[in-house]
Amino acid sequence: MSAPMLEVEALTLRFRTPSGLVNVLDNVGFTLQAGETLGLVGESGSGKSVTALALAGLLDAQAQVQVQARRLRFQGRDLLNSQGEPDAAAWQGVRGRRIGFVFQSPRRALHPLRTIGDQLQQVLQVHRGLKAAPARQEALAWIERVGLSDPARRFKAYAHELSGGQCQRVMIALALAGEPELLIADEPTTGLDVSTQALVLDLIAELASARRLAMLLITHDLALAAQRCARIAVMHAGQLVETLPSARLREGAAHIYTRQLLRATPQSASTLDALRSVDGTLPDLTRVDLPACRFAERCEKSDARCRSQAAPWTRMGAQHALACWHPVLETQRVGLR
Ligand SMILES: Nc1ncnc2c1ncn2[C@@H]1O[C@H](COP(=O)(O)OP(=O)(O)O)[C@@H](O)[C@H]1O
Ligand SMILES: [Mg+2]
């Protein structure tokens, strides 16, 4: 296999707050190959968005956050300084140009006082080096490509004149107009109505496959991630616990947390499954005595070792690995879903 497009190793992230340190990300690591789609899944508050922000190099400038990693490379390019922190200079030319981002709340992400066309045109001039007139033509083409009618009129529109779904289409155009090789989309459809969600996800999938774009799709919705991505990474309280191919999820998930998330994921909206949720709550990340496995206190199998010693990553099969001292074995999965 060729060198991965994105390599993340031992990423840690903490916030300094008046009530103490918040230990958000702990030893997060994963890789992404060119053209691959990976779904990053976890409950709300588990650290998915800060992972995206750290990968965008958008947290490095804030004094109240400490980001460190053992390795952070994109297309072979080192994005860390000698202290293992994200390097602002190395990020120039990568963010926006080679990695495109779509964040939640598209309306807030768009500039309120500049037209849609103006914002698109600027991306095309900055990231693609186009002159004003061709950038304008290309901006119109992008407005059309993301399925907005009457491009000339939309070009002159402001964010407040568009619906949430239309704003998200504009965000997708902005993220992809620089022709990136990786798209990081953080809950790109949360807050949109169900039919618009599907249309926006179809649009992302269509544009991504036409461009052989790699994608990190971040969502709290395991079913959605499994449907849209080839591989899933499950995050619990700032720790990755299991990565596996989506096709193996139902039969092969070996981490108890992944299995609980699966059980809490309705197979159809009409079943009673929709009422189930994962037992317990995420641990308080400001605690100084967080267990080594942050799932230990919610886990029926945990013991003293789980609380004191982080489990190493264990390979379970092709592209399947987990960090757990007590994986659910194949024989024990009979009778479970
Ligand atoms: N600016 C901040 N200061 C302090 N804590 C933060 C900040 N941003 C996020 N957090 C904390 O980091 C954790 C993860 O947040 P987030 O990445 O937004 O979760 P998710 O996207 O998975 O819902 C939460 O416990 C949240 O309270
Ligand atoms: Mg989030």
| CATH at 62 | 3.40.50.300
Report the alpha-carbon distance of residue 249 to residue 232 in Å, rounded: 8
Q: How far is the CA of 104 from the centre of ligand 2 (A)?
A: 8
Smallest Cα–Cα separation from 337: which of 259, 280, 277, 261? 259
Is ligand 1 within 6 A of the CB of residue 47? yes
- Which of 103-112, 163-172, 174-183 has the least mean pLDDT? 103-112
Burial annotation 266-280 (CB, 10 A radius, 16+ → b, else e): eeeeeeeeeeeebee
Closest residue by CA, ligand 1 atom 18: 49
Does residue 97 fall inside a structural domain? yes
Q: How far is the CA of 61 from the centre of ligand 1 (A)?
A: 17
Q: Which residue has the tokens 């992008």?
A: 142
Q: How far is the CA of 50 from the centre of ligand 1 (A)?
A: 6
Q: How far is the CA of 227 from the centre of ligand 2 (A)?
A: 19
Q: How confident is the model at residue 272 (pLDDT cuts 50, 70, 90)?
A: very low
Does residue 327 fall inside a structural domain? no
Does residue 130 fall inside a structural domain? yes
What ligand is nearest to the CA atom of residue 46? Answer: 1
Does residue 334 fall inside a structural domain? no
What H or E segment, with its residue span, contains residue 317?
Answer: strand 313-317
pLDDT at 334: 54
Closest residue by CA, ligand 1 atom 9: 50
What ligand is nearest to the CA atom of residue 28? Answer: 1
Does residue 309 fall inside a structural domain? no
Most confident stretch, 14-18, 40-44, 62-66: 40-44
Q: How far is the CA of 49 from the centre of ligand 2 (A)?
A: 4
Amino acid letter, residue 123: V
In the predicted structure, residue 101 carries a pLDDT above the cut 50 = yes
Ligand 1 atom closest to the CA of 53, numbered from 1: 17
Q: Domain range spanning residue 191?
A: 6-35+44-219
What ligand is nearest to the CA atom of residue 26? Answer: 1
Does residue 317 fall inside a structural domain? no
Ligand 1 atom closest to the CA of 42, numbered from 1: 22
What ligand is nearest to the CA atom of residue 40? Answer: 1
Q: What is the pLDDT of residues 230-266, one digit of tens each?
A: 999 999 999 999 999 999 998 899 999 999 999 887 6
Q: With the CA atoms of 224, 225, 228 and 230 taken in that order, what torsion angle do they form, in degrees rounded to the nearest 10?
A: -150
In the predicted structure, residue 275 carries a pLDDT above the cut 70 = no
pLDDT at 42: 95
Q: How far is the CA of 39 from the centre of ligand 2 (A)?
A: 13
Does residue 333 fall inside a structural domain? no
Structural domain count, the chain: 1
